[in-house]
Amino acid sequence: MNIAVIFGGISSERNVSINGGISVCKALKEKGYNVTPIDPSLGTNCILDLDNLNLKSNEAPSLDELHNFNKRSLLDCINSQVFDNIDLAFLVLHGKYGEDGLIQALLELRGVPYTGSGVKSSALSIDKHSSKVLMSAAGIPTPLWQSVHISDAEDFDLLKEIRKDLGQKLVIKPNDEGSTIGLTIVNNGNLDEIANGIRLAGQYSGDVIIEEYIAGREITVAVIDGNAYPIIEIIPIDGFFDYNNKYTKGKTDYICPADIHDDLTDYIQNISITAYHTLGCKGVSRLDFRLSEDNIPYCLEINTIPGFTSTSLVPMAAKALGIEYADLCELIIKTTLNIEE
């Protein structure tokens, strides 16, 4: 079977994607698949030499670096002869132009099956405001929030109202980014800090989410093909689970399965499955939560193409069930193509 593993791309999560893509390529080769590594940011010259491809640093590309990429290259890549004999695209793209439905739409137009959620689900899920609206309608707890635009950073009357509604401690983030890129935590309700947080998030997204801060524990749940996997608790050694703590070895401790009593575990897994279906997800998704001090799980967001190195959170949850990384990659292929074991 000819598998195109698509990774890299032109989002701020490019380097994370490259590391995951390399891991998937190696695992699928071990399983005997014919693997073509592809970085769509390179246009028609998108095939990579895996033997000479190095893991990228844990630093995110700068905004200047991202602006140098041409969006047209994605169209050129998918429309090239590279995809003439591809049976399946295994997507390891994160963020914009990869997790938002755009690459999925191009693959559908080209007639190439792909792993993960479809166009509509991907677009809704990466949009934090839209996904929170849908989750709220489905009865899934999510922190109170308000959507603003970068220009609202200058409206201190509005910021005072938001602070009054959401509290003194706030989380400010881009509406459609991941990996805590552009995220700010405001601890004391300082209006200048709120304004600066909006300006930072606004560099990455036209819309910005301001969310009440939920004190408690950081947990995450993988859902694969409608089945919830063991809950993982995330404990940063210092600070919060930001980009550096996510991708620097030794900066964060993980407990899997999380030390949560059975009834609450069942509830969290069930609402994760509900959110997964509410947003129309397929394949692998990962839902991030804050578990409040009074044990209420608040769903923060859903990731339709979560991180996928061999040490990432979804493979960690699968390993707790005895599923090794290469087997997980093959499971994703088989569920995508409805291949019976």
Separation of alpha carbons 7 and 18, rounded Å? 6
Which stretches of the chain drop beneath a pLDDT of 70? 57-58, 179, 238-251, 340-341
Are 46 and 80 in contact by the 8 Å Cβ rule? The answer is yes
Q: Which pLDDT value is given to residue 62?
A: 81
Burial class of residue 91, CB neighbours in 10 A (0-12, 13-18, 19+): buried
Catalytic residue among 114, 247, 276, 325: 247
Catalytic residue among 283, 286, 290, 298: 286
Catalytic residue among 11, 13, 131, 176: 13
pLDDT tens per residue across span 108-124: 999 999 999 999 999 99
Angle at 36 between CA 328 and CA 105, to 5 degrees: 80
Return all residues near 81 (Cβ < 8 A) that are at least 6 apart.
Answer: none
Separation of alpha carbons 101 and 122, rounded Å? 5
Q: Which CATH class is domain 126-140+215-336?
A: alpha beta
Catalytic residue among 285, 303, 310, 312: 303
Separation of alpha carbons 267 and 175, rounded Å? 27
* Residue extent(s) of CATH 3.40.50.20 domains in the chain: 2-114
Are 127 and 302 in contact by the 8 Å Cβ rule? The answer is no
Beta partners for residue 228, in sequence order: 223
Q: Which pLDDT value is given to residue 329?
A: 97
Are 117 and 282 in contact by the 8 Å Cβ rule? The answer is yes
13 part of the active site? yes
30 part of the active site? no
Amino acid (one-letter) located at 216: G
Q: Which pLDDT value is given to residue 264?
A: 98
Backbone φ, ψ for residue 217 (5° rounding):
-105, 150
Q: Which pLDDT value is given to residue 245?
A: 46
226 part of the active site? no
Topology at the third CATH level for domain 2-114: Rossmann fold (3.40.50)
Q: What one-character DSSP code corresponds to residue 297?
A: E
Return all residues near 266 (Cβ < 8 A) that are at least 6 apart.
Answer: none
| CATH homologous superfamily, domain 145-212 | ATP-grasp fold, A domain (3.30.1490.20)
Q: What one-character DSSP code corresponds to residue 94?
A: -
Q: Which pLDDT value is given to residue 181?
A: 83
288 part of the active site? yes
Structure tokens at 190: 């300082």
Q: What one-character DSSP code corresponds to residue 47?
A: B
212 part of the active site? no
Backbone φ, ψ for residue 168 (5° rounding):
-80, -30
211 part of the active site? no
Q: Which pLDDT value is given to residue 248?
A: 52
286 part of the active site? yes
Catalytic residue among 19, 131, 179, 312: 179
Task: Return the axis-axis angle of helices 14-30 and 325-336, rounded to nearest 10°.
Answer: 90
* The model's pTM: 0.92
Q: Which pLDDT value is given to residue 323?
A: 97
Catalytic residue among 152, 176, 288, 330: 288
111 part of the active site? no
